[in-house]
Amino acid sequence: MLQMMSLISRRRSELAIDFGTSNLRLIRRDEGIVFDEPSLCCFSDLDRVPILTAAGTAAWAMIDRTPRQLDVRRPLRRGVLQDIRTATHLLIYAIDRAGSRQRLAATRAVIGVPADATQAERQALLTMAGDVGLRSARLVSEPFVAALGAELPVDAPCASMIVECGAGTTEVAVISLGGICITRSVRIGGASLDQGITDHLHLRHKFLIGQQSAEQLKKDYVRGKLGQPTPIQIRGRSLATGLPAVLEISSRDLDNVVEKHVAQITDVIRDVLNATSPELSRDIHTHGIVLTGGGALMAALRELIEHDTGLPTRVANDPTRCVAHGLHRILSH
């Protein structure tokens, strides 16, 4: 297929890992996606020795609801592995759940990594792979893999522009002839937008909500068309009374938060476009921008990027799983 792919798959790998800030996905060459759950672990430390009590989906419901002896942890922050021990626990849990534990010592793996990851960040992923007992691991660049998963013509002598909108990072890349021509990223994503919504309600309305409520609010958010703002009801705690309460706001109230978030992404897109050669620019002008990652599911993102850049912008099929689909293509090659 393409040069980069042949380098990646010099030795055939059986397992691929998309370790995201929000979700962990495991892909097997013969079965496709075999695990897709939140990147979360819950530990109990009754005897000062942390013991894994829940992980993935089971740990999700525990966020912000744990008694003192339980602790819910995310191994990644802003797209970067921060806690290798938690990551190793979660990966072993996922591998067990996927029934892939046999022959682990003979298994070669491919792992997605942000294109701008530092050497230390890359090394952390390789250390984790060694700690779970994998035979070897090869790192591949996430925006390139997302473009493969979105079925863009990555091999063609023609530019494809991809914006991979994850929970912790947003990566912009121009791809042509089987490789990345230019890439930039910013360590913001769905999680920082959730935080922005939480902060806004706190400061503006003196109203507290938790992580899950903020994420749900973001998913329910629809930008009001001119003159048609949507009413939203939010459950949380009023700072004025200290009591559980319902806050009623208009969707327009959140427009500012969302617009500020998207403006940071369009700044990166502009940077990339500024550094792109004229021929590649011409291709992008013709074919536009493709959005992948869970963040692409928010309709306002596509609308605002298209409006701000003036370029046709579309969301890939099954955007949240584009990296996983791309990794599967690498394994199958």
Ligand X SMILES: Nc1ncnc2c1ncn2[C@@H]1O[C@H](COP(=O)(O)OP(=O)(O)OP(=O)(O)O)[C@@H](O)[C@H]1O
Per residue in 231-262, is it b (16+ CB within 10 Å) or e — as a string?
A: ebebebbeeeeeeeeebebebebbbebbeebb
Give the range of 14-22, 42-50, 216-224, 279-287 binding Mg ion by CB under 5 A: 14-22
Binding flag, residue 111, ligand X (CB under 6 A):
no
Q: How far is the CB of 296 from ligand X (least distance, A)?
A: 8
143 binds, among ligand X, Mg ion, none (CB under 5 to 8 A by kind): none
Considering beta carbons, is residue 101 or 219 the nearer one to ligand X? 219
Binding flag, residue 298, ligand X (CB under 6 A):
yes
Give the range of 200-208, 254-262, 265-273, 291-299 binding ligand X by CB under 6 A: 291-299
Which SS3 state, helix, strand or coil, does residue 65 take? Answer: coil
55 binds, among ligand X, Mg ion, none (CB under 5 to 8 A by kind): none
Q: Which residues contact 195 (CB under 8 A, 6 or more apart)?
A: 214
Binding flag, residue 73, ligand X (CB under 6 A):
no
User: Could you give the string, one character per residue 149-188, with x where binding to Mg ion holds by CB under 5 A and - elsewhere?
Assistant: -----------------x----------------------
Q: Which of 58, 63, 245, 297 binds ligand X (CB under 6 A)?
A: 297
Binding flag, residue 149, ligand X (CB under 6 A):
no
> How far apart are alpha carbons 209 and 76 in whole angstroms?
22
Give the range of 183-191, 242-250, 279-287, 325-333 binding ligand X by CB under 6 A: 183-191
> How far apart are alpha carbons 162 and 143 in whole angstroms?
7
**Structure token digits, residue 309:** 């850049």
Q: E strands along the chain, which residues?
A: 15-19, 23-28, 32-38, 41-44, 51-55, 70-73, 76-77, 80-81, 108-113, 136-141, 160-165, 170-176, 179-186, 207-208, 231-238, 244-250, 289-292, 313-315
**Structure token digits, residue 210:** 């938790």
Binding flag, residue 23, ligand X (CB under 6 A):
yes
Q: Which of residues 186-245 bind ligand X (CB under 6 A)?
A: 189-191, 215, 218-219
Q: Which of 53, 100, 141, 169 binds ligand X (CB under 6 A)?
A: 169
Location of structure tokens 């978030």 = 261
Location of structure tokens 């920082």 = 192
Site residues for ligand X per CB under 6 A = 20-23, 76, 79, 166-169, 189-191, 215, 218-219, 293-295, 297-298, 320
Site residues for Mg ion per CB under 5 A = 20, 166
